[in-house]
Structure 1
Amino acid sequence: LMSPFEGLDEGPNFLSEEDRGAINVDLQSDAALQVDISDALSERDKVKFTVHTKSSLPNFKQNEFSVVRQHEEFIWLHDSFVENEDYAGYIIPPAPPRPDFDASGENLQKLVEGEGSMTKEEFTKMKQELEAEYLTKPIIIK
């Protein structure tokens, strides 16, 4: 199984060669590692996420960094855990679903036509998805 990370420039943000082993972190009591996925952007047929990491762990070269990852990379990571015998017996959450940007457009069309309704949370999510999709469109200059 080939890693989707092979061949990528790892840059200064990642662990050094000698520190790439397993790191045990108690996420309940140790706030030394925080990971936040702030957005999902649709670029043609790919969905990309920005992953922000903050850590005070000595294993990382920097305390804060961000990387952009494609949805397929999260699926690969999930499948790698599921297929690895070292993680047998661990509860591995399901892989994240691929965001459906087309559904937001359909929901908006139903609202315009007076055929639909949504909660404030659904509206906020739809608005964010449509804004993200809009921002990925190229600007055409005459």
Structure 2
Amino acid sequence: MMEGLDDGPDFLSEEDRGVSPRAVNVDLQTDATLQVDISDALSERDKVKFTVHTKSTLPNFKQNEFSVVRQHEEFIWLHDSFVENEDYAGYIIPPAPPRPDFDASREKLQKLGEGEGSMTKEEFTKMKQELELGLIEQLIVQFMEKNMSLT
């Protein structure tokens, strides 16, 4: 893991702990599932944090569901670790996720907050709609980039 960053709770079962990831046996003939959802991008000053939700019926995990918070830099580190590791040569490694741009939205929110008393109701509504549309566009672009990299 990245130096200085919390590895989070230990989610592997007792029998799989201490075993290298390449040595973990998983029976793919069962109906076991592993579902990972990355959501809730939050900007905290200069850091972007995501909540990673995991659901699994694989016996290798202690819990069926758990969530951890990870920084954008950790995803970049993980991506680079796979790309630079010769053991993964020949595997398709999706691109690292782009860093979400919160600055434009912050500026509009600040203007919206400052101008609330001096704007007409129509101006306020228009700026609010523009902000909402911008956020929706960002989500759609991120969703499309994520799904396009998986195909």
TM-score, length basis structure 1? 0.65
Q: Describe the shift of the 1:8–1:89 C-alpha distance in structure 2 as closer, same or farther (beyond 3 A).
A: same
Q: Which has the higher contact order (CA 8 A, sep 6+)?
A: 1
Identity %: 67
**Cα drift, residue 13 of structure 1:** 3.0
Separation in structure 2 between the aligned mates of residue 5 and residue 32 of structure 1, nearest angstrom: 31
Q: Describe the shift of the 1:126–1:77 C-alpha distance in structure 2 as closer, same or farther (beyond 3 A).
A: closer
The reply on whether 1:13 has 2:11 as its aligned counterpart is: yes
Q: Secondary structure at the residue paired with 1:11?
A: coil
Question: 1:43-79, CA deviations, whole angstroms, 9 ceiling, x for partnerless residues?
Answer: 0110000000000001111000000000000000000
Q: Secondary structure at the residue paired with 2:100?
A: coil
Q: Say whether the 8 Å CA contact 1:46–1:71 is kept in structure 2.
A: yes
Normalized per residue, which structure has more helix? 2
Separation in structure 1 between the aligned mates of residue 56 and residue 26 of structure 2, nearest angstrom: 11
Q: Describe the shift of the 1:126–1:18 C-alpha distance in structure 2 as closer, same or farther (beyond 3 A).
A: closer
**Cα drift, residue 106 of structure 1:** 5.1
Separation in structure 1 between the aligned mates of residue 107 and residue 65 of structure 2, nearest angstrom: 38
**Cα drift, residue 4 of structure 1:** 1.6
Alignment of 1:57-76 (within 5 A): 57-76=58-77
CA RMSD of aligned residues (A): 3.7
**Cα drift, residue 21 of structure 1:** 2.0
Q: Describe the shift of the 1:76–1:42 C-alpha distance in structure 2 as closer, same or farther (beyond 3 A).
A: same
Separation in structure 1 between the aligned mates of residue 64 and residue 100 of structure 2, nearest angstrom: 29
Separation in structure 2 between the aligned mates of residue 65 and residue 32 of structure 1, nearest angstrom: 14
Separation in structure 2 between the aligned mates of residue 20 and residue 58 of structure 1, nearest angstrom: 16
Q: Say whether the 8 Å CA contact 2:48–2:71 is kept in structure 1.
A: yes
Unaligned runs of 5+ in 2: 112-122, 140-151
